[in-house]
Amino acid sequence: MLRKIFVLTLLATLLLAGCGPASPSTPTTAPVSTVAPATEVSTVAPTPIILTDGLGREVKLDAPAQRVVSLAPSNTEILFSIGAGRQVVGRDEFSDFPEQAKGLASIGGSMGQYSTEAIVALKPDLVLAAEINTPELVKQLEDLGLKVYYLKNPKTIEEMYGNLEIVGQLTGHDVTDLISSLKARVAAVDEKIATVTEKPMVFYEIDATDASKPYTYGPNTFGDLLITRAGGTNIGGALKDPYPQISLEQIVTSNPSIIVLGDSLYGINPDSVKARSGWASIEAVKNGNIFPFDDNLVSRPGPRLVDGLEQLAKLFHPELFK
């Protein structure tokens, strides 16, 4: 029951809102001269960083942040992917990628409840919030004297690159090479999918606590965006809600040729789907095209979205990726 409540809470806050991110690079430090006269040491103060965040607030840092607390898994993944992993001193309890993130101090986050005491104790010079966090939480942290930047969810993969640039500026990292690499990988998928003439009907399952009416990705979600860009037709895309429950009758009528199990981390597998009452007539079930999938590659708006795109494209059109 707790899992379902958490999923519903997460879904309610993640409208459009990740190829694992590039291995965190080790920040380099310029060698300190031991011979230069003291008069040659620069006294010029670093240029302040002034950016407007997703809430329309002007956020100013006197210098790149060196002690960052992340309030969302997507933010944590972005920080590590751009090479700022060593600057992260705290993370929400759901941040589990990359592996190094698990060793950081947890500041809570279950059911949207964070420990402000733990956050303050870490003495961050930046708290990086995401759209899963409420404006009220941002204000609460600001009232405690903390600098908070609210990173708005991107609506496209291209807008995700912009978020990488923002976090790069906030932490003092050049993300040019990372973005170029991601763009090249996306372009490679786009080029292959451009040749597709038949797009399979796809059912993406998020939560089947009620197997007769599971949750799926509807319009204006990254699930719908990635399925479409990967050369599939999302049966949930025709529904009104972004994260709807879809009836068994609707699934049977749509007759998807591919079923993607985004809830596989919760123990759902192809055999359990085949055993469901009323599902035997669905083409994907008859042909065994039921695939477990890491939903974090779809639901976390960070660089691993490119992983998600690549993997979905290979599931939908394996002939193009031999």
Q: What is the pLDDT of residue 4?
A: 44
Do 101 and 241 fall into the same domain? no
CATH, residue 6: 3.40.50.1980
Domain end among 173, 208, 227: 173
Do 236 and 164 share a structural domain?
Answer: no
- pLDDT: which is higher, 24 or 184: 184
Q: Are residues 265 and 146 in the same domain?
A: no
Q: In terms of domains, do 105 and 237 share one?
A: no
Q: What DSSP string runs through 200-237?
A: -EEEEEEE-SSTTS-EE--SSSHHHHHHHHTT-EEGGG
pLDDT mean over 160-180 = 98
Q: Do 278 and 160 belong to one domain?
A: no
> pLDDT of 231-282, one tens digit each?
999 999 999 999 999 999 999 999 999 999 999 999 999 999 999 999 999 9
Q: What is the pLDDT of residue 44?
A: 54
Query: How far is Cα 210 from Cα 206, in angstroms, rounded to an integer?
Result: 11
Indicate if the pLDDT at residue 106 is higher than 90: yes
Q: DSSP secondary structure string, 241-277?
A: SSS-B--HHHHHHH--SEEEETBGGGT--HHHHHTST
In a domain, residue 178? The reply is no
17 pLDDT higher than 70? no
Residue 287 has pLDDT above 50, yes or no: yes
Contact residues for 4 (Cβ-Cβ < 8 A; gap 6+)? 207, 209
| Domain co-membership, 169 together with 261 | no
For residue 190, tell me if it sits in a domain. no
Q: Do residue 263 and residue 155 come from a single domain?
A: no
User: Residues with Cβ < 8 Å from 90, sequence gap 6 or more?
Assistant: 68, 69, 70, 104, 105, 106, 107, 118, 119, 122, 124
As a whole-number percent, the residues of the chain with pLDDT over 70 amount to 86
> Which of 173, 204, 230 is a domain's end point?
173
| Residue 33 confidence (pLDDT) | 30
Q: How far is CA 187 from CA 197, 229, 231, 301, in A?
A: 18, 11, 13, 18
Is there a single domain that holds both residue 11 and residue 124? Answer: yes
Give per-residue pLDDT as tens, 76-85: 999 999 999 9
Cβ–Cβ < 8 Å for 101, 42: no
Shared domain check, 216 and 288:
yes
| Host domain of residue 123 | 2-21+45-173
Strands 215-216 and 201-207: antiparallel
Stretch 194-221: mean pLDDT:
96
Q: How many domains does the chain have?
A: 2
CA distance 175 to 50: 18
In a domain, 37, yes or no: no
Judged against a pLDDT cut of 60, whether residue 308 lies above it is answered with: yes
